[in-house]
Chain A
Amino acid sequence: NAGVMQNPRHLVRRRGQEARLRCSPMKGHSHVYWYRQLPEEGLKFMVYLQKENIIDESGMPKERFSAEFPKEGPSILRIQQVVRGDSAAYFCASSPDSGGYGYTFGSGTRLTVV
């Protein structure tokens, strides 16, 4: 049973480009969460999604950031017109459909904006 799969592991973008980060949850998990981690800092909640629904996006910046979790395929975190301040590690986590506790995290995507 593969864990939470994130790709790419490393992503370099020039300022103004778009970044797309992908996350495939564990088998049997339909809840996906995205977190951002700046160097030497903690995990900041961004968005919580279930299949085809955004449940809580209170941590998402109002502009340039969007997330989706389609019926088929991975969850996507999209950052448009990236700026240097978007450089960070982005982690995806998933949790069980029901009755289970705890998040399983992926290995993260390290985004560098040059």
Chain B
Amino acid sequence: GENVEQHPSTLSVQEGDSAVIKCTYSDSASNYFPWYKQELGKGPQLIIDIRSNVGEKKDQRIAVTLNKTAKHFSLHITETQPEDSAVYFCAASYNNNDMRFGAGTRLTVKP
């Protein structure tokens, strides 16, 4: 089955700096890669996703890149703000079924 690894486990940045979180996956059949943000006491919320037919996707301050050959994908947050502080999870699946998640990255943005 799919195995997703995520790094780093914790990340602290200064407000206004960029943050990058990286994930690798094992199953070459995986074709859908979402990212979720989880705030304290809440369920994960989808923030951006990418499918295997594109290499990059951007939504305002958030972007995701995918390298299918190397089987890794990354989340980039620019101009970070304190409200970006949360735990971020990457995930991988084949056709949206049986999604497997990384262990999470706790991002802290210092004002």
Contacts and interface: CB of A to CB of B under 8 A. Distances in A.
The 6 lowest CB-CB distance pairs between A and B, nearest first, are A105-B43, A42-B103, A43-B101, A42-B104, A107-B43, A105-B44
A103 B46 contact: yes
Interface residues of B, number: 22
Interface string B87-106: 00100000011111111100
Contacts of B42: 107-108
Nearest to A104: B46
B32 A101 contact: yes
Contacts of A107: 42-43
B98 A101 contact: no
B99 to A, nearest CB: 6
A58 to B, nearest CB: 7
Nearest to B105: A42
Interface of A: 4, 33, 35, 41-45, 48, 55-56, 58, 91, 95, 100-108
A43 B6 CA distance: 12
A95 B1 CA distance: 20
A59 B103 CA distance: 16
A45 B34 CA distance: 15
Contacts of B96: 95, 100-103
Contacts of A102: 34, 46, 49, 96
Contact of A108 (B1, B43, B103): B43
A108 B39 CA distance: 12
A107 B46 CA distance: 13
A59 to B, nearest CB: 9
B6, B45, B98 interface centre (most CB from chain A within 10 Å)? B98
B22 interface: no
B45 A48 contact: no
Interface string B1-23: 10000100000000000000000
B68 interface: no
A91 B45 CA distance: 12
A42, A44, A102 interface centre (most CB from chain B within 10 Å)? A42
Contact of B89 (A43, A45, A101, A104): A43
